[in-house]
Amino acid sequence: MDGYRIEHDSMGEVRVPEKNWWGAQTQRSFENFKIGTEKMPTELIDAFAVLKLGAARTNAKLGKLSQEKLDLIEKACSEIREGKLAGEFPLAVWQTGSGTQTNMNLNEVIANRANALGGGAVKLHPNDDVNMSQSSNDTFPAAMHIAAVRETENRLLPEVRALAEEIHRLERENEGIIKTGRTHLQDATPIALSQEMSGWRAMLEKSAAMIASSLEGVRELALGGTAVGTGLNAPKGFDWMVAEEISGLCGTRFVTAENKFHSLTSKDELVFAHGALKALAADMMKIANDVRWLASGPRCGLGELFIPENEPGSSIMPGKVNPTQCEAVTMVAVQVMANDTAVGLAASQGNFELNVYMPVCIYNYLQSIRLLADACRSFRVNCVAGIRPNRERIAQNLSASLMLVTALNPVIGYDNAAKVAKKAYAENITLREAAVALGLLTEEEFDRHVQPEKMV
């Protein structure tokens, strides 16, 4: 049986498992919040490690932290970032709304691990040293922003762009294929398959650009505001210096928030940025729905696209194959749209000098990034890469479309063209036969004016 050791905090003694590096405050939170299975995201923990390292370096530059202590904090933070201490961050999302115990979880683990690495030569305190010049109230929102920017840039945007490029490849390969367009789920004038696909690509490119643009506000860090935005106990210059340190560590730009009173209590930058994630989700929903509708069948649907057959689709219907990748994408889209509601509601609860819905806000934000990135990759690799046109069905549907009659508007007028379409539909004959029967055109005249390839 694992043993325990006694740790102390301002409230007294706490028994902590001997095998773990955390301390009293982490243990209290672990015991007091047995709610759900959702834990603080690993992306946030990594962002916190970056933040603590950046703060320690800044404090050392300002003469507040010794080089010996900085060296030990560097080593402990490196172990966190390398995943060597992954089991040391067990706290639930459903804890204090400021994320104080997660901040203290990092402080305690870094201090205890650093002390062990130092062999007791230098004694670090979680509050006095690791949390120096900081408060949970400015570190947690700063870590949220660091995690959001890094995951968006490093994880999501590359996958969105890769999917857009895969669709661009399909465009180039399928140039010259003319098919029936559809509006209101009804037949419309012709369109090139490559044109239809270009719409999907442009959606992804636009979404990527909007997401990248939305990060500008998220690059602002609350660090230096400490408890209520006044910067109490933080030395002059700490805020902009620590932002520069964190920028260097992350390889991307962060700046200090101009107004710390705003950055502690408002989460509007995350609401705005998640709105761009929701826009991507909406586009992904549309693209996946288009693909599965165009691939519907195989005999009794539209059947204009072939998609990869990845697994059996039914436990009772032999041979059935379903558009499972499309379905996964659409479920992800629904979850992201729901997350947007949670992020917005959480951000609306900034009372006085602090928002206390921050853990649920960043949990949903990071989940959206993770799901969208994974869905883009899975959809690209397991579906889009294998899409092929069903040329025979596309030609059949195009030739049967009544909306080819639109090409006759300039020749016989809208009203007469409508008569041709309605007669062809009512009598189940071709447009050419209807036009000739109505005495509006000869067969040769019809063929000269109705050429689908010239209608796109």
- Identify whether 378 is a catalytic site residue: no
Residue 354, helix vs strand vs coil? strand
Q: Say if residue 298 is preceded by a cis peptide, omega within 30 of 0.
A: yes
Inter-CA distances, 259 with 126, 214, 216, 229, 271, Å: 27, 19, 15, 8, 18
Angle at 42 between CA 39 and CA 43, to 5 degrees: 125
Strand partners, 181: 188
The catalytic residue among 213, 314, 348, 399 is 314
Beta strand pairing call for 12-17 and 4-9: antiparallel
**Measured CA angle at 392 (ends 390, 397), to 5 deg:** 95
HSE of 184 in the Cβ direction (CA atoms, 13 Å)?
4
Q: How many helices (H) and strands (E) does the chain have?
A: 17, 10
Task: Please say whether the dihedral angle defined by the alpha carbons of residues 349, 353, 356 and 362, taken in this order, is positive or negative.
Answer: positive
β-partners of residue 13 are 8
Kindly list the distances between the CA atom of residue 423 and the CA atoms of 204, 448, 452, in Å, as whole numbers in the listed order: 42, 21, 20
DSSP string, 281-297: HHHHHHHHHHHHHHT--
Tokens of 222: 């609350």
DSSP code at position 192: E
Q: Is 314 a catalytic residue?
A: yes
CA atoms lying within 13 Å on the CB side of residue 341? 5
Active site residues: 184, 314
